[in-house]
């Protein structure tokens, strides 16, 4: 049996956003991240395009201050029309 462990905040929290590649996608997602995590370190982000360049995966690691912050961030990201899923 595995033990369920809750996060203790502040905590490093990885977030991956996958969506349809487009000229505005990265800028829109970055703006949302900065609204929710203004101390975002650009060195802790990476991106990868799909083989055909149709999809973009962007990975971020933020320092989350609360579960409410993470929930609000994920909800706003998921509501974007270019975003297919948030992990």
Taking the domains of the chain in order of start, what are their residue ranges? 12-86
The pLDDT value recorded for residue 3 is: 56
DSSP symbols for 36-74? H-TT--GGGEEEEE-TTSSEEEEEEEEEE--HHHHHHHH
Q: Which fold has domain 12-86?
A: Alpha-Beta Plaits (3.30.70)
26-85 pLDDT per residue, tens: 999 999 999 999 999 999 999 999 999 999 999 999 999 999 999 999 999 999 999 999
The pLDDT value recorded for residue 6 is: 81
The token duo for 84 is: 């297919």
């Amino acid at each position: 049996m595995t033990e369920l462990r809750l996060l203790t905040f502040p905590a490093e929290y990885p977030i991956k956003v996958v969506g349809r590649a487009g000229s505005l996608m990265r800028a829109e997602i970055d703006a949302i991240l900065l609204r929710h995590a203004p101390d975002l370190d650009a060195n802790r982000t990476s991106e990868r395009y799909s083989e055909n360049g149709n999809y973009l995966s962007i990975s971020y690691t933020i320092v989350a201050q609360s579960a409410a912050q993470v929930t609000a961030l994920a909800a706003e990201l998921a509501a974007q029309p270019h975003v297919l899923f948030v992990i």
